[in-house]
Structure 1
Amino acid sequence: MAGTDRATLTETDPITAPSRLAGSAMNVLHFLLGLTLLFVVGVNFLNAASRYLFGISPVGADELMVYVVNWAVMIASILSLFLRSHINVNLLPLYSRGRFHHLLRVVHDLAAVFTCGYATYASWLFIGRISALGVKSMGLGVPMTIPHAALLVGFGGLTLAGAIMLVRDLAALVRNEPRKEVQP
């Protein structure tokens, strides 16, 4: 899609179908993550209302909110990395052009793959340890492997996303594609 205006792409263009599918999937994911956060707000409201109005504290409400938010954050981080919409210092890449711009992206991708790959490995080891111990949460009685699996899935997804971006950016570096401008 380098150097091609979006308006000139046709329905039969092989590049547009995967792009549209990926865009639709990301829109659905954004929507589901939004619903997830609304669910957490609802649980928090019910927790506070029942606590202050009726003097009843629902067991495990705080735990549930933390676990759901952990899962949402880890899934959203994968999406954020893949879209390059995460918080970063991008002064140098913002003004770079040509091969140097692609090289900076390759370095970024390599850093993401190595750091997230290590975190995935560490999460795997930790889940193995707590699984062997049979640890459960205090309020809900949920096996702690479930909330901690959010880190494993998240870092594994970040590693995979980083690897996909690395391949894409290495190809752009080799082809010396013109830099694509970010669409608002």
Structure 2
Amino acid sequence: MLWNIPNSLTMLRILLIPVFVGIFYLPVDMLPKHWVNLSATLVFAFAAVTDWLDGYLARALNQTSSFGAFLDPVADKLMVAAALIVLVEIQRLNGLWGASIALIIIGREIAISALREWMAGAGERGSVAVAFIGKVKTAAQMTAILFLLYYDPIGAINVKFIGEILIAIAAILTLLSMAYYLKAAWPRISLK
């Protein structure tokens, strides 16, 4: 079934991307900066929750589909790429350092998605299945993005600093996980 509950949640995540991006382009007098930060953070957090929820519901309701398996990672990567581009644009990932981190993360997502598709076409999808390092990378990346979107201090907590540290850790984990997946796929790549 094409439009089951999990696929609908995934599509909702894609539809939230222009809403998320648009929040940062509202007129300044329409929404104070703190509320822009909070609104964007809440939209991104909601999208992250729907990512977990659609996978859970697909399994629990036995509504997995090849369309859902294709659409879900596309939605995830689009939302993360949109967030990183916005963070570069609003200079929370600024300069060469920030742009490099965004390019590393986005580039890895594209490269590993392409690798998975190629391996699936060769009947070897299992060799590049999601690994623990990929899950840790995703957790660090999503948490970092949430902190960088919110940006405002919470009491004595320097949200900006924590976000910058976490995004640097996420970039390192991004490179390590890419190396892991390439190493796992290498025997199949070198034989083809």
Normalised by the shorter chain, which TM-score bucket? 0.3 to 0.5
**RCO higher in 1 or 2 (8 Å CA, sep ≥ 6)?**
1
Q: TM-score if structure 1 supplies the norm length?
A: 0.33
Q: TM-score if structure 2 supplies the norm length?
A: 0.31
More helix by share: 2
